[in-house]
Amino acid sequence: MSTNRRNFLYSMGTSLGSVALSAMLADEAAATSPSNAAKPTGPMAPKQGHFPAKAKNCIFLMMEGGPSHIDTFDPKPSLGKMHLKEFTRKGEQKSAMESGKRYYVESPFGFTKHGESGADMADNWTHLASVADDLCFYRGCQVDSVNHPTAMYQMNCGNRFGGDPGLGAWITYGLGSENQNLPGFLVLPEVSYPQGGAANWSNGYLPAFYQGTPLRPKGSPILDLRPPAGVTSERQRANLDFLSQINATHAAEHPGHDDLNARIESYELAFRMQTEVPNAIDLSGEDSRTLDMYGIDGKATDSFGRKCLLARKMVEKGVRFIQLYNGSWDSHDYIERAHGNLVRGVDQPIAALIKDLKQRGLLESTLVVWCGEFGRTPDNGVRGGVAYGRDHNPNAMTIWMAGGGCKAGHTIGATDELGMSAVENVHHVRDFHCTLLRLLGLDDNKLTYYHAGRFKQLSQFGGKVIGELIAG
């Protein structure tokens, strides 16, 4: 079947071309004066924020499924006295083994305080404990939904119902990116996308070049990254130059199609990425000590270790926002086994990431965030009488941050004695989003985009910065 130029351009949507289009789709703002000739131009060029930034980049560690704060970083010794007592709203208590209803569940993990800050961590966080004083724990965040997809959308995009821009999209819209040869917003998902799918890193109603670019977890991270066998870079360059001449003639005949030049420029970005990306994603140049530190080739740690090491390399390359996914934290039963395995897979890589950034002088300018979409309840239904787990809880969760101007070595906020609800320094997630933007030098009230009749923003209708989370 014959095709025309427009169809050919759109047919690139499943490979390197789609990555390039994401970053260059509307690059009409070419430099028009000699003073701008040497500076990056277009929508992804670096931009000034609204405030002096404490962080230049962000690595967002998303633990999909809702990790239990009670079994990770928020110990509740009172649950020991309530274990297997029936939970009722009236506060009546009786043996769950007799009733077969809901019951309180104590944590199967012991807790220890670490560092000069006395940070609380479950004992199976053996590596993260070594960087306790670099972390800022926040226990006061609340969300609105107990359903995974809607809660994921709210944590990632500020809106429970999908269709809005992701955090990385807003941040690259506001700040651009320091590397014009790589996408400014990169996503490292698992083989199975998180609940809610790619909408978690969508550009929403923002222009398309702000959407997140996912790297495939297996095989080539980006399809068609390398040219076909026998095609040299010189030949490819010549082909692009010839294609550019043809397209320039076409563009001159259709002056009203301003986005055409931007689509043509996507070829140029794709060509540059073929040079930049292979080196950026290649871990073979790392020394054995670094690979061992991240747990590369370890049975439990290899997968997330590679993501964390790749995130460090992306920060070095100037990528603005990198989001890493780790799934299966939805532990309704067998929480000791489930959370135990999950912590084993991420503990060493995350600690290595923080140490590596710090020793390279990058932690101060890189904000690292760890969270899920909600927390867990102190009670659960009986699963065979002994398969203790926890249900979804939007009213209590633990988030921690490192680097990037956060108040390291502090625990901010608190939940009640059983971990059911936040009770100190309580804020909706929209305020947490505003705080992240502020650390990156952005004002949520000024970072707006006109759509559907009003100026929209990440917080939806405005929020406030949680000042206690920011270092003085």
Q: What is the pLDDT of residue 146?
A: 96
Residue type, 51: F
CATH class of 56-224+287-469: alpha beta
Residue carrying the six token digits 């009409």: 28
pLDDT along the chain (472 residues), means of 10: 44 46 42 50 91 98 98 97 80 47 91 98 98 98 98 98 96 96 95 96 92 85 72 75 80 68 60 70 93 98 97 97 98 94 98 98 98 96 69 98 98 98 98 98 98 96 97 94
SS3 81: helix
Q: What is the pLDDT of residue 58?
A: 98
Q: What is the DSSP letter of 415?
A: E
Tokens of 207: 């222009």
Q: What is d(CA 340, CA 446) in angstroms, rounded to the nearest whole number?
A: 43
Are the CB atoms for 177 and 318 separated by under 8 Å?
yes
Q: What is d(CA 309, CA 146) in angstroms, rounded to the nearest whole number?
A: 32
Q: What is the pLDDT of residue 84?
A: 86
Q: What is the pLDDT of residue 43?
A: 84
Are the CB atoms for 167 and 458 separated by under 8 Å?
yes
Are the CB atoms for 332 and 390 separated by under 8 Å?
yes
Q: What is the pLDDT of residue 151?
A: 98
Nearest to 109 by CA among 335, 272, 281: 335
Q: What is the pLDDT of residue 346?
A: 98
Q: Residue ranges of the domains in the chain?
A: 56-224+287-469
Q: What is the pLDDT of residue 12?
A: 42
Q: What is the pLDDT of residue 272?
A: 65
Residue type, 238: A
Q: What is the pLDDT of residue 30?
A: 36
Are the CB atoms for 447 and 173 separated by under 8 Å?
yes
Q: What is d(CA 210, CA 214) in angstroms, rounded to the nearest whole number?
A: 12
Q: What is the pLDDT of residue 169?
A: 98
Are the CB atoms for 93 and 86 separated by under 8 Å?
yes
